[in-house]
Amino acid sequence: MASTSCPALFISAPGSGHGKTTITAALARFHAELGQKVRVFKSGPDFLDPMILECASGSSVYQLDLWMTGKTQCRQLICQAAREADLILVEGVMGLFDGHPCSADLAELLNIPVLAVIDCKGTAQTAGAIAYGLANFRQKLNFAGILANSIASNRHEEMIIEGFSSDIRYLGSIPRNLNISLPERHLGLVQANEINDIDKRLSNAAKTIANTELAELPASISFPCPGVKPVPTLLANIRIGIARDPAFSFIYQANLDLLQSLGARLIYFSPLIDKSIPEVDSLFFPGGYPENHIEFLQQNQSIKKSIKLHFQSGKPIYAECGGMLYLFETLTDKQGNKGEMVGILPGSSIMQNKIQGLGYQSVCLPGGQLRGHTFHHSIIETTLQELTMGVRLYNTSAGEKVFLAKRLLASYLHLYFPSNPEATAQLFLP
């Protein structure tokens, strides 16, 4: 098996909220500003962190997920990046050992050294114990060292360092600074294109890296390159219209790549501002934040009419999560504001204050089984009977319902198309 090499670092933490995304983005921007080609990956199914990381690095960000994407594709994606990049960064999900599989499993598979970011607000020497546990919990893990985040003063850092054992590499600290923190909302970070000063925040974050040992490139890692199986061009000459704007933006780059590899021509449009859908054979409505744009979606009557005509003609439509909500009759936000949506699915969707669905699921569709995940804060009220239901990875409760109306397939599931290219093609074939 052929191989290639590239400097690489896996950024993790004891848990969520320690600043993994901010530090990964800071590293990406710092090295990109030095003229280096930086490729960034995100562990897990998250949509929002990759938007920030793409803005920081200037390159598309892909998911690495041992269950959803599989070991072989994880290796393929890393190998492809290593051929062109000067630096590869992988941001973990949650804590280093959280979940099955976890970030540590992925880091071990790829043999990428782990940088642990510890938010030290409210702690001092005890940070050393946390660092020791992270470094020694798994003996086979390639552990690069610790970055102390949210340091209040020089004295605070001195106390942090006092707690470290000599065999733990301390790579520096990041000062407590609101000018580099990233705003959040109910599904996670705010989308990059909604943060007006995103470039300023990223540049400020990058400057903090200069005073750490992370200013130097890490050691090169050799990555094996598994063979790539050709994808059949099942969607040759098929035009797929994809909703893409601030309301519909939860799209895996790997999904777009696969559709193109299948032979499809991708045409983007905006339900917020366009007067009609483009001339296409199939439609794809991805997830996003339609609840934050109810007024504009309601007012755009002309595009809703063109979507209805596409539906009534029996052409394929695939919609997931927020895209599905847009196709129901009404959508109500958390404040009780209700808007009329497209109305090709009978019923209503209502935003809730608590999360209503979370976790990995697979689903058997007419074309085969696909893998994905769900993460939503809304409920739906409909008379539709489900075609099938998703199956949770850990089967703790019922999976998400999948609805079929004419050629419209809709559910809360965010599917990862490369998990089954043939089944994906069936979603869009006329």
Give the span between the Cα atoms of 187 and 290, in whole angstroms: 13
CA angle at residue 275 from 272 to 277, to 5 degrees?
A: 90
Say which amino acid occupies 401. K
Contact criterion met (CB below 8 Å) for 311 and 341:
no
Indicate the Cα dihedral angle 68, 402, 327, 420, nearest 10°: 40
Q: Which helix (H) or strand (E) holds 255?
A: helix 253-261
Active site residue 6: no
CA angle at residue 16 from 13 to 19, to 5 degrees?
A: 65
Q: Label the pairing between strands 282-285 and 239-243.
A: parallel
What is the three-class DSSP state of 272? coil
Q: How far is CA 336 from the centre of its chain?
A: 29
What is the three-class DSSP state of 71? helix
What is the three-class DSSP state of 381? strand
Q: At what angle do helices 126-136 and 154-162 cross, to 10 degrees?
A: 50
Q: At what angle do helices 48-57 and 20-33 cross, to 10 degrees?
A: 20
Give the span between the Cα atoms of 414 and 391, in whole angstroms: 13
Signed CA dihedral, 417, 422, 427, 430: sign only:
positive
What is the three-class DSSP state of 70? coil
Of 74, 102, 120, 321, catalytic: 321
Contact criterion met (CB below 8 Å) for 51 and 249:
yes
Start-to-end CA distance of the chain, whole Å, equals 40
Catalytic residue numbers read 321
